[in-house]
Amino acid sequence: MTRGMNRYPVIYMHDGQNLFDPNSSFIGVDWGMGEAMTRLMRDMPGTGAIIVGIWNSPLRWREYMPQKPLATLGWQLASRFVEQAGGEPLSAGYLKFLVEELKPFIDATYPTLPDQSHTFVMGSSMGGLISLYALIEYPEIFGGAAGLSTHWPAGEEALVDSLGASLPKASRHRLYFDFGTETLDAAYEPYQQRMDGWVQAAGYRFGHDWLTRRFAGAEHSERAWRARVDIPLRFLLDAEVAAS
């Protein structure tokens, strides 16, 4: 790489096939991440980031379910997950791949800013769960996490409490959450409010290093996340601007 080349933060995103191309997206509508980043760079000169989209596998549920908290869910919830997902969570291995294989490859290949303060993780639904879990498990690697329509019902209150009690203390991380009010998202608000209590207890300040947004009428889909992805992007890359 040429000396003096611009270097950029990196955002690792789950369900990568849904981010850029409607032909590969789940419902034929992608997140429009290329367009969103172009808008960001136009509106906030000097910003920008490399987005790494990690395609999910047929083991998505198991790879995205936080592994350690499963032991705190109680026999009934844990058994329900294993039965529905076809086995125990595999998120420890997924995150190890992200941190020990993918990130070193990206940093060696592209002009990144590889330090913790410029490395972020983001996803929706189960991808929101694994994004938060990535920050909890590797707080020295990730400086911020964003969960759009985070699927808290996967482990209900016990999962929220386990993750909330494990949050890194505020000062070096940014947390973003949101939810809609239609389809699957209609069940999320009580869980998100519970998580917000944990976030506040860990010392995060709303609008500074933490943001939770409610989108009335929004459904649980790539279409809805496309409509609002600019907000978490701007918050991760410039918290003060995003909260204003």
Helices (H), 138-188: 156-165
Cβ proximity of 42 and 153 under 8 Å: no
Whole-angstrom distance, CA of residue 224 vs CA of residue 214: 12
| Res 1 pLDDT > 50 | no
pTM over 0.95: no
Q: Percentage of residues in the chain with pLDDT exceeding 90?
A: 83
pLDDT score, position 76: 80
Give me the chain's average pLDDT, please: 93
pLDDT score, position 244: 36
Q: In degrees, to the nearest 5, what angle opens at C-alpha 54 toward C-alphas 130 and 47?
A: 90
Burial class (CB in 10 A: 0-12, 13-18, 19+), 180: buried
Whole-angstrom distance, CA of residue 52 vs CA of residue 106: 8
> Domains (ranges, CATH) in the chain?
10-243 (3.40.50.1820)
Which tokens in the block code for residue 41? 């760079």
Query: Counting runs of H as helices and runs of E as strands, what totals does the chain give?
Result: 11, 6
The tens digit of pLDDT for each residue in 203-235 reads: 999 999 999 999 999 999 999 999 999 999 999
The tens digit of pLDDT for each residue in 120-147 reads: 999 999 999 999 999 999 999 999 999 9
| Res 166 pLDDT > 50 | yes
Cβ proximity of 235 and 146 under 8 Å: yes
> pLDDT-based confidence at 4, cuts 50/70/90?
low
Whole-angstrom distance, CA of residue 126 vs CA of residue 228: 18
| Res 74 pLDDT > 60 | yes
pLDDT score, position 242: 41
| Res 44 pLDDT > 90 | no
